Amino acid sequence: MLRFCCVVLALWALPAEAEVLTLSCNGTMNTEEMQHPISKMGLVVNFDAGVVTGFTGITARLEEVNANSVSFKGTNINPSGAEWSVHGTIDRITGSLDAAVTWFNPKTNKLLMRMNYELTCKPT
């Protein structure tokens, strides 16, 4: 019983670490007009805060987290009134990330731009 007590005390003394995953991603970003290579795009998955950041200033909320994947979705309103939205999924096994970013004008009900990201991410 004495060993159990000491192990618990040792674990209690360790500082708690925030669960934040910083990623560097490579791949492509596609629009209707063209394809752009992406190199070393930084993304941060903050499990403690429940957010993903790194897509054009959009803070996305974690929708679902499990052993195999992380899905996220979020919308920010630009000062112009346009909505920037992102939704995507990261495969926690392969590092594959698929996401779509849209720029939408709610006043005219018009989609201004859609960008599809196909990336492979690694922890930094």
> Can you give the residue ranges of every domain in the chain?
18-123
Task: State how far the Cα of 122 lies from the Cα of 119, in Å rounded to an integer.
Answer: 10
pTM listed for this prediction? 0.80
Residue 57 is predicted with a pLDDT of: 84
What is the C-alpha radius of gyration for the chain, rounded to an integer number of angstroms?
19
pLDDT in tens, 13-46: 223 455 999 999 999 999 989 999 999 999 999 9
The tally of CA atoms less than 13 A away on the side-chain side of residue 10 is: 6
Residue 18 is predicted with a pLDDT of: 52
Do residues 55 and 36 touch, judged by C-beta distance below 8 A?
no
Tell me which architecture the domain covering 18-123 has in CATH: Beta Barrel (2.40)
Task: State how far the Cα of 77 lies from the Cα of 75, in Å rounded to an integer.
Answer: 7
Q: Read off the pLDDT band of 4 (50, 70, 90).
A: very low
Q: Give helix then strand counts, H and E, for the chain.
A: 1, 8
